[in-house]
Amino acid sequence: MAINHPSFGKLDPNRVIIFDTTLRDGEQSPGFSMNISEKIRMAEALTELGVDVIEAGFPIASPGDFESVKAIAESHIGQNAEGPVICGLARSGREDVMRAGEAIVPARRKRIHSFISTSPLHMKHKLRMEPEDVLQAVGDSVALARNYTDDVEWSAEDGTRTEDDFLCRCVESAIRNGATTINIPDTVGYALPEDMMRIFTMILERVPGADQVVLSTHNHNDLGLAVANTIAALRAGVRQIECTINGIGERAGNASLEEIVMAIRTRHDAVPYDNKIQTKNILRTSKLLSTITGFDVQPNKAIVGRNAFAHEAGIHQDGVLKLAATYEIMTPESVGWAKNSLVLGKHSGRAAFRDRLETLGYKIGQNQLNDAFRRFKDLADRKKVVFDEDIVALVDDEVMRDHERIRFEALDLRCGSKGPATADLELVVDGEKRTASATGDGPVDATFNAIQKIFPHTANLVLFSVGAVTEGTDAQARTTVRLEENGKMVDGQGSDTDTIVASARAYVHALNKLIVKRERTEPVALTV
Ligand code: KIV
Ligand code: ZN
């Protein structure tokens, strides 16, 4: 019998709901935190990608988390009746559920996702609660959540290490109290595919009403099995998949959206399920996340890694040239890799630039377009060929800098093997031009010292990394700077053909994020 879902209506039995938790479970991992405007940008990209549910954050965790869930709910993303359901996470306490409920109020389609641990280990040592009290909390939290929305998801944290009878009782109570999605997470990435098959088959057989709700799977990748477990769960009857872009998330991460979606699409013969993902937007969304967080995926990452479609061995190249299908199980274009990414040159005009941006999926305002075009012209003067990747890096860099208090203007350097390096730096702080000269142990040190002179601060530099956007000696550098101040950590990114300019931009970006973060209060400890 087809499930009638409060947000999606009558669901076709083969329809799979894609629940993206990049902005919650993904953002929770060290170094991946995002500010509100970055979260909105990611949420826009996820909407264009076609995800069904965006888990936008954990509203009780901090005022910043609350504000970003609310901001997404209020934005055009949350106001779009055809757009994704906006979801807020909550533990089972009243405060948590109410806070999540308040944050999602403005959204047209909204969900509360409440969870509590159900495994003996977690109940005894983490929650210090008796099973009967946990069972009571399951029903109470779901019933309370239903006061805010008809779309309520309940999760059994550490579900795959929970005793069968107790898991079934909790699921039954959640359904009886109004949950419309039941999620059994493999919180610690312990399960094997056959465990997933067994658990979901058991729930469907034993729990009254389980066939009338959407069953959901949420897998962590500690043993590298998150995607395999997700596929196994699908085959056992699950119809919601929880995943993240690039597989980011707690510890080893979550199941990767792009891998699951392409597995379903490529092996439709064996996994005949449907979803609404526009696969051509996958690469763009993955790159946006890398730009925002400063973490590139590894080169051999399936689907979105630099080598995912590169054929090195002569015998493979020969085969691919004769017929791509000999070694390619999906086309690179189907996930957004361009056939020929050489695009524009220094003679290209504003219209061609804007047109290219639109093809790459960017809709930016006139001011940002003007700034980005100016930087593109500058880049085209310095770089022989400008690739799509260059344009993406440049525009992402520009858009990230919107509304920032400190802006990079210019940098002049003297450095080499003969003595200390000197940096002459110009920044604009709150609209006012400021300059400083500083020396240092190398050009990066000198530049960072000059920033310190212009904008004194107590933050420590804890990470500095440099990568290349494309190949060749004239490639743009993409740098990441991580600053720490009183336990608060921020990452900034910058790109430029000049590595030191990219470093200055990244440092300034991180400082701007720190200024915003200073104004926020600390997250409350989350133990229950
Ligand atoms: O991994 C997990 O158990 C979670 C829950 C909050 C769903 O992220
Ligand atoms: Zn998780």
Question: In this prediction, what percent of the chain has a pLDDT beyond 70?
Answer: 94
pLDDT at 235 > cutoff 90: yes
Q: From the CB of 88, is ligand 1 less than 6 Å away?
A: no
Ligand nearest to the CA of 253: 2
Ligand 1 atom at minimum distance from 158 CA:
3
Q: What is the pLDDT at residue 374?
A: 87
Distance 184 CA to ligand 1 centre (A): 9
**DSSP string for 172-224:** HHHHHTT-SEEEEEETTS---HHHHHHHHHHHHHHSTTGGGSEEEEEEB-TTS
Q: Report d(CA 152, CA 299) in Å as an integer.
A: 38
Nearest ligand, CA of residue 186?
1
What distance in angstroms lies between residue 118's CA and the mean position of ligand 2's atoms?
Answer: 14
- Rounded Cα distance, 83 and 187, in Å: 28
User: Is the per-residue pLDDT at 524 higher than 60?
Assistant: no
Please tell me the distance between residue 70's alpha carbon and the centre of ligand 1 in angstroms: 21
The answer to which of 152-161, 245-254, 430-439, 464-473 has the lowest mean pLDDT is 464-473
Regarding the beta carbon of 91 and ligand 1, being less than 6 Å apart is answered no
Sign of the torsion angle spanned by Cα atoms 453, 456, 462, 467: negative
Structure-block tokens of residue 347: 């003679």
For residue range 28-59, list pLDDT tens digits in order: 887 788 889 889 999 999 999 999 999 999 99
Distance CA 518, CA 488 (A): 8
With a CB cutoff of 8 Å and minimum separation 6, the contacts of 107 are: 72, 73, 74, 78, 79, 85, 86
pLDDT at residue 408 greater than cutoff 60: yes
Tell whether ligand 1 has an atom less than 6 A from the beta carbon of residue 186.
Answer: no
187 lines ligand 1 (CB under 6 A): yes
Nearest to 303 by CA among 265, 359, 342: 265
Task: Check whether 525 has a pLDDT greater than 90.
Answer: no
Q: How far is the centre of ligand 1, averaged over its atoms, from the C-alpha of 422 (Å)?
A: 50
CA of 254 to the centre of ligand 2 (A): 7
Higher pLDDT residue, 211 or 323?
A: 211
Residues linked to residue 11 through DSSP beta bridges, in sequence order = 3
Q: Is residue 341 a contact partner of residue 387, using CB atoms and an 8 Å limit?
A: yes
Q: How confident is the model at residue 327 (pLDDT cuts 50, 70, 90)?
A: confident
Distance 242 CA to ligand 1 centre (A): 10
Compute, in angstroms, the gap from residue 420 CA to the centroid of ligand 2: 48
Q: ∠ CA(104), CA(37), CA(333), 5° rounding? A: 100
Task: Find the radius of gyration of the CA atoms of the chain.
Answer: 24
What is the layout of strands, in order, in the sheet containing 432-440? 406-414, 421-429, 432-440
> Among the atoms of ligand 1, which is closest to the Cα of residue 89?
6
What's the half-sphere exposure (Cβ side, CA atoms, 13 Å) at 178?
18
Write out the two tokens for 378: 């500058």
Quick one: average pLDDT of 93-122?
A: 98
Pocket test for ligand 1, best of 157, 181, 242 (most atoms within 8 A of CB): 157
Ligand 1 atom nearest the C-alpha of 157 is: 3
Q: Quote the pLDDT of residue 396.
A: 72
- Residues lining ion ligand 2 (Cβ < 5 A) are 25
Computed over every residue of the chain, the mean pLDDT equals: 90
Q: Is the predicted pLDDT of residue 401 greater than 70, yes or no? A: no
279 pLDDT higher than 70: yes
Q: What is the pLDDT of residue 311?
A: 67
> pLDDT band for position 312 (50/70/90)?
low
pLDDT at 313: 67
Residue from 214, 298, 230 nearest 264 by CA: 230
Q: Would you say residue 132 has pLDDT above 80? A: yes
Cα gap 25→99, rounded to integer Å: 18
Which carries the bigger pLDDT value, residue 514 or residue 314? 514
Q: What is the pLDDT of residues 462-495, one digit of tens each?
A: 889 888 877 777 778 888 898 888 877 788 888 8
What are φ and ψ of residue 398, in 5° steps?
-70, -45
The minimum-distance atom of ligand 1 relative to the CA of 254 is 1
Quick one: pLDDT at residue 521?
47
Q: Is 157 in the pocket of ligand 1 (CB under 6 A)?
A: yes
pLDDT at 111 over 60: yes
Least confident of 314-328, 333-347, 512-526: 512-526
Q: Which residues contact 134 (CB under 8 A, 6 or more apart)?
A: 116, 117, 118, 123, 127, 170
Give the max Cα distance, the chain. Answer: 78
**Higher per-residue confidence, 495 vs 142:** 142
Q: What is the mean predicted confidence (pLDDT) over 409-415?
A: 94
pLDDT at residue 343 in the model: 57
Percent of the chain with pLDDT over 90: 66
pLDDT tens-digit profile of 16-32?
999 999 999 999 887 78
Instruction: Please state, as a whole number, how many other Cβ atoms lie within 10 Å of the Cβ of residue 147.
Output: 12
The separation between the first and the last C-alpha atoms of the chain, rounded to the nearest angstrom, is: 37
* Mutation choice for ligand 1 from 115, 126, 127, 230, CB with most ligand atoms inside 8 A: 115
Does residue 180 have its Cβ closer than 6 Å to ligand 1? no
Look at ligand 1, atom 1, and give the residue with the nearest C-alpha. 187
Q: Which residue has the higher pLDDT, 39 or 527?
A: 39
Q: Would you state the pLDDT for residue 260?
A: 98
Q: List C-alpha distances in Å: 318 to 67, 90, 311, 312, 476.
A: 54, 54, 9, 10, 31
Q: How far is the CA of 185 from the centre of ligand 1 (A)?
A: 6
Supply the pLDDT for residue 254.
98
For residue 317, the model assigns a pLDDT of 67
Residue-level pLDDT at 193:
98
Q: Sign of the C-alpha dihedral, residues 220, 39, 90, 275?
A: negative
What is the number of other CB atoms lying within 10 angstroms of the CB of residue 350?
12
Tell me which residue has its CA closest to atom 2 in ligand 1: 187
Mean pLDDT across 252-268: 98
Distance 157 CA to ligand 1 centre (A): 6
Judged against a pLDDT cut of 70, whether residue 523 lies above it is answered with: no
Helix axes 499-518, 443-454, angle to 10 degrees: 40
CA of 221 to the centre of ligand 2 (A): 10
Closest ligand relative to 190 C-alpha: 1
Tell me if 25 CB under 6 Å of ligand 1.
yes
Q: Are the beta carbons of 56 and 302 closer than 8 angstroms?
A: no
